[in-house]
Amino acid sequence: MSKKIIFRVFTVIFAIIIVALVVPSFINWNSYKTPLLELINKQTNFDIAIDGDIKLSLLPRPYLSVAQVSIKNQDDLQVKNAEPLAKLKQLSFAIDFLPLLSRKISIRSVELIEPVISVTKQTNDTKDSFSASVNLSGKNTNDSSSKNDKKGRQQSNKPKNEGSEALSLNITKASVVDGSVTLIDSKTNKKTEIKAINLSGGFSFTHGFDMKAGANIDGLQVNGTIKGGAFVNGFPSTLDAQCAVMQEKGMQGAVTLSGKHKDGAFLIKASSDAIKVPMKIQLGTQTIDLAKGVQFNVDATIRDKVATINTLKAKVADINLTGKGTFNTEKNVGSLGVALTSNILNATGTIGVDLSQAKPMVTADLVLPKVDDKAWTKTANTKTSPNAKSHHESAQKSSQERWSKDPIDLSALQSMNANVSLSIDKLSLNDIDAAKVKLHLILNNGLATIKQLSANVFDGGATVTGKLDSKSGQLTTDVKLVNMNVLKLPGVKGSALKAGTLNISAAITTKTTSMHAIINHLGGVANLDVGKTVVEGVDIKQFMADLKTTKDIGGLTKLKASFDRKADMGFNHVRGDVKLTNGVANTRNFEIDMNEGAIKSAGTVDLPNWKLALNSILTVRDVKNLPNLAINITGSIDQPQFALDMDQLQKALLQLAANQLADRAKDVVKKKVAEQLGGKANGKMADKVGGEAAKAIGKILPGLFG
């Protein structure tokens, strides 16, 4: 009797178990979606919606399938038309039942069909962040089991020595079908799309992993495989990976990766053939075409959270880079000693990076013996004629044509902080040849501070300090140029300037958002002194010589001819103070000193419109009684026009002739009076009477031309 009871009890229990395992397959789980989602949304920072069916069965193995799933951050619920963080056409997975009895998770299969993920990068003044975050622990981020350090990074209370061996997870088959990820920069609204993501394979901490994957990154197709052994201290015991980069025209390159545990360290090697990346980089005047191939080899060791780069070799075009260094994966700081060689430049030094801050901090201390873009481009130097057409045409350009309105992108200065020191022995870049170049630049939250920029350049010296705000584009700088050869300045060849030694002290402000903005926002003050200057223009030397020999109005034609004749004008100094306002230089005390005389000018030099307008007064030395002459200097800055006030010159010549006539009349009158009085008065009285009469005549004659 007792046996029958026991049998019946076991039969009932077995039946209950069978029913418990079978019944879930017949339950309409869709009716439980609402309370289930409310529970999930309460325990996470996500708002999850399921618009499709939910299917659950326990036989022959636990299986769950969910269709039409969308996931949003709860913070985005108040944002109108906010895109979901993720959408899936279907999510399904099956779990082996028996391993669960021994507290092991064995996922027979997990499949994501057409997952679509959208992540927005938020950019602000202090840090870059992403609006979406994934809590891999599965716990609420507000849980007391985690805490924040002083820098806001999340720290876990989980014991540090709890390694991957404590977790028993096995995924027999995992797959992603036609997934996509869109990365959006909130500031620039730039989108990076990763499409056609397909993945298949298996994963186990205790047995290793074997996966295949592929994706299309902005039109670049990437396919690869990765295999690894059981995990030891957070790393697989062995690692082998291959990655192929392709486009429509075929394979573009391949990367191989291998690694293994040895003596408590993980040794890793990575290398590539000539990867052809569809991208070009402009460096000075040279365009580096990455489609021609990028090669690299890396040999590194990871031990006790420190990655040591034993050797690094890379090559692109004719640039070769070698280096070695370390990176602490716990502190997120590292340094790399580098040596770079190429036709354009060579460099040695150290580069450091600190990723523990809100923004990456980069430090660099590099020595460059030589930077030469002429060696890189190998283009022959072409001499420009003094009367080159290009300079004449440039003088005819409008402001808009001359100064480009193309925006200058300074956003890169906001992406990181930096402390950079550069030392260049010899620099040849475009039209600049310099030596002993030293630069110390500090970049902090988008503000670039030039602590030092000095160089021996154009046969003289230059020092610059200043600050550049990359957000507003505002630049404030102090500049000193000493003893520079003006003929070596960019843009001087082919202009009217033939010789000179330049000295400038200036405090300048402007906006660097475009070349047009730089010129149109120039402001500040400057002191200019150009010594031993030669300018092509009026034959001023001959003009002054003719002035000294001209006796009357009859020489006017000769004077005009010598003034209109083109010749080199030599000046001892061109000096003065300048006030800059919106790109226009105003001066009231510009002075040009010559052996024969001097010119004082007041007026404007309009850089935005490339024009000048100076009212000048010419003073001639060693010519008695000649009044100052007016000269107007107008036209383009590089081809100025000189106009002499002919009416004033004519009047001056008449005045000169009258003065000379008066002098002759005084002599004649004085002589005649003396003769008439010679027998009737002594000589002293005759001189006095004759002199008074001569003075009266001398006042009357010049006054006729006054």
Q: DSSP string spanning 598-643?
A: EEEEEEEEETTTTEEEEEEEEEETT-TTPPPEEEEEEEESSSEEEE
**Residue 356: beta bridge partners?**
none
Domain boundary among 192, 218, 244: 218
Query: Helix, strand or coil for residue 511?
Result: strand
The neighbour count for residue 683, using CB atoms within 10 Å, is 10
CA–chain centroid gap for 442, Å, is 14
The per-residue pLDDT for 18 is 55
The answer to whether residue 419 is domain-embedded is no
| 618 and 654 assigned to the same domain | no
182 beta partners:
118, 193
Burial 524-544 (b: 16+ CB within 10 A, else e): bebebebbebbbbbbbbbbbb
State the pLDDT at residue 153. 40
Residue 620 included in any domain: yes
pTM: 0.63
Choose one of 644, 665, 684: the last residue of a domain: 644
Residue 607 lies in a domain: yes
CB 567 within 8 A of CB 539: yes
Structure tokens at 518: 């730089």
642: which residues sit within 8 A by CB, 6+ positions away? 537, 538, 563, 631, 632, 633
Give the model's pLDDT for residue 270: 93
pLDDT at 142: 38
- The last residue of a domain, from among 194, 218, 242: 218
Asked, for residue 248, whether it belongs to a domain, the answer is no
Within this chain, do residues 600 and 667 fall inside the same structural domain, yes or no?
A: no
CA distances from 348 to 80, 343, 515, 578 (A): 53, 15, 33, 42
Buried b (16+ CB within 10 A) or exposed e, 359-396: bebbebebebeebbbbebeeeeeeeeeeeeeebeebbe
* Paired tokens of 159: 């014991």
- Among residues 671, 665, 672, which one has the least CA distance to residue 696? 665
Domain range for 110: 1-134+172-218
Q: Are residues 586 and 659 in the same domain?
A: no
C-alpha to C-alpha distance for 459 and 481, rounded to whole angstroms: 11
Please state the φ and ψ torsions of residue 96, each to the nearest 5 degrees.
Answer: -70, 135
Question: Distance (Å, rounded) from C-alpha 207 to C-alpha 228?
Answer: 9
Structure tokens at 332: 């997120």
| Residues 526, 622 within the same domain | yes
DSSP state of 356: S
Contact 517, 468 (CB under 8 A): no
Residues 629 and 660 in one domain: no
Rounded distance, CA 371 to CA 551, Å?
Answer: 62
In this prediction, residue 599 carries a pLDDT of 83
Alpha-carbon distance of 108 to 689, in angstroms, equals: 137
The answer to whether residues 57 and 186 belong to one domain is yes
Whether 267 maps to a domain, the answer reads no
- Integer Cα distance of 221 and 251 in angstroms: 9
Q: Whole-angstrom Cα distance, residue 118 to residue 131?
A: 10
Domain total in the chain: 3
Q: Minimal CA–CA distance to 427: which of 454, 409, 402?
A: 454
Query: Pairing mode, if any, of strands 231-232 and 640-644?
Result: unpaired
Q: How far is CA 581 from CA 119, 407, 447, 687, in A?
A: 46, 22, 24, 63
d(CA 392, CA 388): 7
8 Å CB contact between 386 and 331: no
Cis status of the peptide bond prior to 60, with omega within 30 of 0: yes
Nearest Cα residue to 593 out of 613, 571, 608: 571
Among candidates 531, 550, 643, 502, which has minimal Cα distance to 592? 531
Residue with the two structure tokens 């979606």: 33
Residues 569 and 683 in one domain: no
For residues 128 and 11, membership in a common domain is answered with yes
Nearest of 452, 429, 278 to residue 368 by alpha carbon: 429
Question: Are residues 633 and 664 located together in one domain of the fold?
Answer: no
In 252-365, where does DSSP find H-type helix?
none
Low-confidence ranges of the chain (pLDDT < 70): 1-32, 58-61, 74-82, 97-105, 120-169, 185-188, 248-251, 278, 282-286, 373-401, 430, 491, 494, 547-548, 550-556, 559-560, 562-563, 623-627, 646, 648-706
> Any bridge partners for residue 271, and if so which?
256, 297
CA distance linking residue 334 with residue 355, whole number of Å: 9
With beta carbons less than 8 A apart as the criterion, state whether 424 and 401 touch. no
Element (H, E) at 3: helix 2-22
What is the tens place of the pLDDT at every residue in 483-507?
988 888 776 776 777 788 889 999 9
- Give the pairing of strands 280-283 and 286-289: antiparallel
Six token digits for residue 193: 């799309």
Same domain as 659, residue 622: no
Residue identified by tokens 């283009």 is 379
Query: Do residue 670 and residue 616 come from a single domain?
Result: no
Q: How far is Cα 595 from Cα 621, in angstroms, rounded to an integer? A: 8
Residue 698 domain-assigned (yes or no):
yes
The DSSP line for 11-50 is HHHHHHHHHHHHGGGGS-GGGGHHHHHHHHHHHSSEEEEE
My answer on whether 519 and 618 are in the same domain is yes
Backbone angles phi, psi at 33, to 5 degrees: -60, -45
Q: Which two three-digit tokens encode residue 453?
A: 């920029």
Residues 487/532, Cβ–Cβ less than 8 Å: no
698 three-state secondary structure: helix
Residue 177 lies in a domain: yes
Token digits of residue 117: 């993920």
Residue 144 lies in a domain: no
CA-CA distance, 383 to 388, in Å (whole number)?
A: 10
Question: CB-based burial of residue 649 (10 Å sphere; 0-12 exposed, 13-18 middle, 19+ buried)?
Answer: buried
